[in-house]
Amino acid sequence: MSDLFRELGQHLYDGDAPGVIELTRKAIEQGLDAREILNAGLLPGMERVGRDFKDGELFIPEVIVAARAMHAGIELLKPLLARGAGPASRKIALGTVKGDLHDIGKKLVGIMMQGAGFEVIDLGHDVPPERFVEVVSTLKPDLIGMSALLSTTMPMMKNTIEAIRAAGLSGKVKILVGGAPITQAWADEIGADGFAPDAVGAVECARRLL
């Protein structure tokens, strides 16, 4: 079965959605566990995409195509994952902060988080602090992921964390930050719980925090 998973991961890496659909269906028909198909087939392929994007071997168009292929496979697995329920998955809300319209990195993080078994709430871009506060209060995610690509929007991360604290919600959610200008030092300065330099790191950090 490892050959099937390797082939599945390669099709995903290549952005071959029809190939991903075909092999995901084949794995399901062979009676393989949906979570195993996800963790041993789809997710390693997407993690490789994330690593190669970080290293400059892949570019945004290839990442988007691979993410679509990943989504195609996940859509086939969703009913099986829900049926095989077990404990509820952890919930993460993702958003690019107010004033920042960049979305692609955050979307990649969402795909990776979904592949890792998280329930993802995508708040989009240009998200004001009060929207993050509202989401923490009403939807009760386990983790908030904030992204910023512009150095000029970095202070909005601090404003958002302060707004969450002012609402008395800081003990109810973990906060993860990332984006091109973001560093561990900045995360420490603003009081974030975690920092990730890329999508692969975001999944690893989320697992550590939760």
Whether residue 106 is found in the same domain as residue 162: yes
Per-residue pLDDT reduced to its tens digit, 127-169: 999 999 999 999 999 999 999 999 999 999 999 999 999 999 9
Whether residue 36 is found in the same domain as residue 62: yes
- Domain end, chosen from 67, 83, 99, is at 83
DSSP H or E run through 61: helix 60-83
User: In sequence order, what E strands does 79-173 have?
Assistant: 91-96, 119-122, 143-147
User: If pLDDT is split at 50, 70 and 90, which confidence band does 86 have?
Assistant: very low
Q: Which two tokens stand for residue 13?
A: 């890496």
Which CATH number covers residue 68? 1.10.1240.10
Whether residue 63 is found in the same domain as residue 141: no
Q: How many CB atoms lie within 10 A of CB 196?
A: 22
Whether residue 12 is found in the same domain as residue 68: yes
Whether residue 70 is found in the same domain as residue 110: no
Whether residue 66 is found in the same domain as residue 8: yes
User: If pLDDT is split at 50, 70 and 90, which confidence band does 84 have?
Assistant: low
Q: Which has more pLDDT, 156 or 71?
A: 156
Whether residue 53 is found in the same domain as residue 108: no
**What single letter denotes the amino acid at residue 64?**
I
Whether residue 97 is found in the same domain as residue 142: yes
Which CATH number covers residue 165? 3.40.50.280
Which domain, by its residues, includes 64? 2-83
Whether residue 55 is found in the same domain as residue 73: yes
Whether residue 99 is found in the same domain as residue 69: no
Whether residue 99 is found in the same domain as residue 77: no
Average pLDDT taken over every residue of the chain: 91
18-22, 90-94, 112-116, 198-202: lowest mean pLDDT where?
A: 112-116
Checking if the pLDDT of 114 tops 70, the result is yes
Checking if the pLDDT of 103 tops 60, the result is yes
Whether residue 203 is found in the same domain as residue 124: yes
Antiparallel, parallel or unpaired: β 91-96 and 143-147:
parallel
Number of domains in the chain: 2
Sequence-ordered list of residues with C-beta below 8 angstroms from that of 60, at least 6 positions apart, any chain: 53, 104
Give CA–CA dist 19/17, Å, rounded.
Answer: 5
Contact 144/96 with Cβ under 8 angstroms? no
